[in-house]
Structure 1
Amino acid sequence: MTNDFYCDEVLSGNTEVDKVKETEDVLAYHHTKPFYPVHIVAIPKKHISSLITLEESDHSLLLELMLVIKEVAAEVTEKHGSCKVITNMGEYQDSKHLHWHIVTGDPLNN
């Protein structure tokens, strides 16, 4: 098994998720083990290991991903008053698949 929860579990269907928004190339869903009261993850359906490994050919996919993140962030902000949009790279990135967290509230005690 690779270190890619999103391909290995979510996109393969091995782990069911509560979808928030989906397009042909992007999926946003509620985190399976949330660290915040509202914790949504947005991922491209194509494997891209991280933001810094994007290829020029991925620019339209990145734009679609950012549009989904914008819509979800706007919905969370409208409902809860604020949100953070976070991505991790390098050692901070547990799963080596480009993903963004849309979160709000104080971190939960996990």
Structure 2
Amino acid sequence: MIEDFYCEEVLSGRTAVEKVIETENVLAYHHTRPFWPVHIVAIPKKHISSLLTLEPADNDLLIELMDVVKKVASQVTAEHGACRVVTNLGKYQDSKHLHFHIAHGEPLHNNE
């Protein structure tokens, strides 16, 4: 398994994605393997392993990332009436790159 799908595949351009919002430092795009009917991922373009490894020097980037998450969540909520915003840590975090899922709907498949 790839340790950091976002750096190795998405940000490198090896895997094409459908962009939702892109800023200088943040990318939000439709998940390549959605778990929910609406499933958007927001990532910093700089490698940061997880929410727990953020440094004080990353504060401006975190604010920019949260602004993008908020905009995407607002769009999804306006269109569908609700959404969830999730980040995973530890063994729940498959790709070791800080990312937030903005999603709506019931799971498309069972992860068991």
**Shared fold per TM-score greater than 0.5:** yes
Match of 2:87 in 1: 87
Report the TM-score, using the length of structure 1 for normalisation.
Answer: 0.98
Match of 2:78 in 1: 78
Task: State the Cα deviation string for residues 21-66 of structure 1 (Å, max 9, x = none).
Answer: 0000000000000000000000000000000000000000000000
Aligned-residue CA RMSD (Å):
1.1
Task: State the Cα deviation string for residues 64-110 of structure 1 (Å, max 9, x = none).
Answer: 00000000000000000000000001110000000000000000026
Using the aligned pairs only, state the percent identity. 70
Which of structure 1's runs of 4+ aligned residues deviate more than 2 A?
A: none
Flag structure 1 segments of 5+ consecutive residues without an equivalent.
none
Residue 9 (structure 2) pairs with residue 9 (structure 1) = yes
C-alpha distance in structure 2 between counterparts of 1:31 and 1:62, whole Å: 20
Flag structure 2 segments of 5+ consecutive residues without an equivalent.
none
Match of 1:104 in 2: 104
Report the TM-score, using the length of structure 2 for normalisation.
Answer: 0.96
Aligned residue-pair number: 110
Amino acid at match of 2:93: Q
